[in-house]
Amino acid sequence: MTTRVARWLADRWVMGVALLVLGYLSLPIMVVAGLSFNRPSSRLSYDFHEFTLDNWRNPCVTSDMCDAVVRSVQIGFIATVVATVIGTLMAFALVRHRFRGRSGINLLIFLPMATPELVMGTSLLALFVSAGVPQGFWTVVIAHVMFCVSFVVVTVKARLAGMDRRLEEAAMDLYASEWQTFRLVTLPLVLPGIVAAALLAFSLSFDDFIITNFNAGTTVTFPMYVWGAAQRGIPPQVNVIGTAMFGIALLLVGVSSLRARRARRAALAPLSGRRASGPS
């Protein structure tokens, strides 16, 4: 019996450690989700005092918070669309083409990712002030596009590097035009990487505080609202917004994984049928 238990633990210790690490990483999320059902004893208290559903029934009890959430979603959506388009085109150019300065551009792509946000925020502020651009909604969008593009390029490049070019060559050998090959072969294969890059860009934009704080002017985003509310007591509805955003992201990832699994099964179904029937 002892030998069996030792063998079972030896075979599954990696999975056990992975589950412990995953649980540790999920602990703050579970705390936020639990506090979303909490009625605190005071505005400055964060202990679990009383269970309630009022926070979920009235998430916009403070209109300023919901306005900040809507503003963050608007900024995140615009920045994500622009950064995804530019970053995807840059990734295709860097992976599929050879041109002068390509290695230098590959190096410059990582600079926004490696630069501290404090330095980037102050640099953008100095740029906007020297150019006479008033700080506000659009300066935040420009700043978010700048650092989101790098993450989009890196994510899409990784997808393109792992793609088999022979599939495109086979499509063109079957008399498909370049546009048909891109639309029917290349784009579906690269689309998971593009979607992942877009989700990453949106989450980075929605969550950013330091760069936004330098370039927002009078515009208040959700992270800036939370920072300001911390001085006088964060309302429990903030935990509702955080839990809802995490749930939406988890749902999108789950739907994407389910669709990918169904597409993989559909692609393998003809091969399974041939193996089952055997040679004729």
Contact criterion met (CB below 8 Å) for 158 and 192: no
| Maximum pairwise Cα distance, the chain | 78
pLDDT > 70 fraction of the chain, expressed in percent and rounded:
89
Predicted confidence at residue 49, as pLDDT, reads: 76
Predicted confidence at residue 273, as pLDDT, reads: 54
Read off the pLDDT band of 96 (50, 70, 90).
Answer: confident
Model confidence, pTM: 0.80
DSSP reduced 3-state for 63: helix
The most confident of the ranges 74-88, 90-104, 160-174 is: 74-88
* Predicted confidence (pLDDT) at residue 29 exceeds the cutoff of 90: no
Tell me which of 166 and 72 has the higher pLDDT: 72
List the Cα angle 200/103/146 in 5-degree steps.
35
Predicted confidence at residue 266, as pLDDT, reads: 62
- Please write down the HEC assignment for all residues of 189-249: HHHHHHHHHHHHHHHHHHHCCHHHHHHCCCCCCHHHHHHHHCCCCCCCHHHHHHHHHHHHH
pLDDT digits (tens, 9 = 90+) for 102-120: 788 888 888 888 888 899 9
